[in-house]
Amino acid sequence: MSSSGISTLDLEREDQLLKLFPEPVRLHLLYKFTEDRSKSFSDRFHGAGEFIVVVYLASGVARGAYMSKPPTNQGSDEKVFLFDVTTTNATKFSPPDDCKTALFTGSTLEFGKSLIFRKVDPPYFNWHVFFSSGDDFDTGWPDHFITSQITSGHAGFKDLELFRVSGIGDVLPSPWREVSWTESTREDFIESLVSHKVCVESLSSVRVLLLGPTGAGKSSFVNSVRSVMFKRTTHMPDSGAGAPGHKLRSSIIRTGRGGPATSLTFCDVMALGEAESAGLSVSDALAVVKGHLPDGYRFQSGTPCHNQSSGYRAEPGIKDRIHGVLFVLDARKITTYSDDLQKTIRTLQDKISDLDVPQIVLLTHVDKVCHAVREDVKYVYTSRTVMDKMQKAAEFVSMPVCNVLPVRNYAVELAPDCNTDILLLSAVHTLLQAIDDTLDDQCVSSTVE
């Protein structure tokens, strides 16, 4: 990778260039003349892959060639094409059959006679680029000059870059849920969380319980939402990976570090058990939902709480109760979770529905199941794999797929990122709306009664 890693290709020309590929692809910069001046391409191909080489002209035109494999000194490449791209237009053409080559000698890269890059030795370290649309060509560069040459020392030459082209395989042409991935969407979501008021006057905050197996990303989700509000990644001690004796921990989400509280509180508990590990029992989970257990309550695996347990509230009020439940599941494991876990979750769901508490599934680790999503979360609703995992999650819990929300949590190494924030905030938004709707219905029905 070149030192800054920033390409001369602006977004408009990149969009045009990407349209020339039948499948969605991404470009990774490997070489940039203005930074790697003294070097050649030789060490950049690494024996495999697809590439493009681009020369940027001062006129705004970017011209270059695509190689479906690393060029060699034999050079044949049936899929080679040449392109000419501006901010508003892109043209692509194939060289004549006998010129379908990407011939590389170390100092020269040739695409037939149409386009030749020649690196000259010290002391100048320049590139000479020759364009030709000879008389014998049916197709050629749009301006139909016969031959032309430009050298990297000239004012008309801006830069020369080499990219690796990689497919983003499972990305669909259009998303199945529309999201505007912009800074203003993020700000709107933050504003809506900051200004959110619970529709029940006596409640300053709604309590959302996170339930799921170990490692699903329950604690990370709480930290991630906090990170979004603090505009930096935060870390809190974990509340438990299924080991006995873990506590009920409530975390109020603040508008910023030391800032006022929002109306959202998360309750993190020990994990639900899977076949081999005893975790939170159904009766303990329900006791939390009903508000019987105080913050800081220590769960004991195998010893469910009872009305003599420390801090047990015999008659919990509305503010003690759980107002929404998030079932947190890992997209990577959705097809391999145990039947026991499924049974536990379905039992919980039935009982929680009876208590009129809205339930949503949070599907984490979507960045680990799709390459494109790992690159950029904005592909989440165009990824076939993510769609498939969301459907599997819906089947697993037996809920409609619209109740499944994908997220990428902030794992340790990830810096704050606008699209990651948007996906997290949109999950919070949907959750708060579901809770509002339910509380609203309950208020209305209690007034009517």
Ligand X SMILES: Nc1nc2c(ncn2[C@@H]2O[C@H](COP(=O)(O)OP(=O)(O)O)[C@@H](O)[C@H]2O)c(=O)[nH]1
Q: Which residues bind ligand X (CB under 6 A)?
A: 212, 214-220, 238, 241, 271, 328, 364-365, 367-368, 408-409, 411-412
Is 15 exposed, middle or buried (CB count within 10 Å of its CB: 0-12, 13-18, 19+)? middle
Cβ atoms within 10 Å, residue 267: 23
Give, in order, the Cα–Cα distances in Å from 144 to each of 24, 100, 118, 131, 269. Answer: 30, 19, 22, 10, 70
Interacting residues with Mg ion between 198 and 257 (CB under 5 A): 218-219, 238
CA angle 329, 330, 336 (to 5 degrees): 95
Nearer Cβ to Mg ion, position 247 or 290? Answer: 247
Q: Interhelix angle for 218-230 vs 183-194, to 10°? A: 100
220 binds, among Mg ion, ligand X, none (CB under 5 to 8 A by kind): ligand X
Closest separation between CB of residue 157 and ligand X, Å? 42
- Between CA 435 and CA 193 the distance in angstroms is 13
Closest separation between CB of residue 355 and ligand X, Å? 23
217 binds, among Mg ion, ligand X, none (CB under 5 to 8 A by kind): ligand X
- Between CA 408 and CA 223 the distance in angstroms is 12
Number of chain residues interacting with Mg ion (CB under 5 A): 3
Closest separation between CB of residue 431 and Mg ion, Å? 18
Nearer Cβ to ligand X, position 218 or 371? Answer: 218
- Between CA 257 and CA 245 the distance in angstroms is 30
Please give the full DSSP string across 259-272, using - where no structure is assigned: --EEEEEEEE-PPB
Nearer Cβ to ligand X, position 92 or 333? Answer: 333
Nearer Cβ to Mg ion, position 55 or 280? Answer: 280
The DSSP bridge partners found for residue 76 are 101
Nearer Cβ to ligand X, position 27 or 329? Answer: 329
Nearer Cβ to Mg ion, position 325 or 439? Answer: 325
Closest separation between CB of residue 374 and ligand X, Å? 8
Residue nearest Mg ion by beta-carbon distance: 219
282 binds, among ligand X, Mg ion, none (CB under 5 to 8 A by kind): none
169 binds, among ligand X, Mg ion, none (CB under 5 to 8 A by kind): none
Residue matched to tokens 């949907």: 430
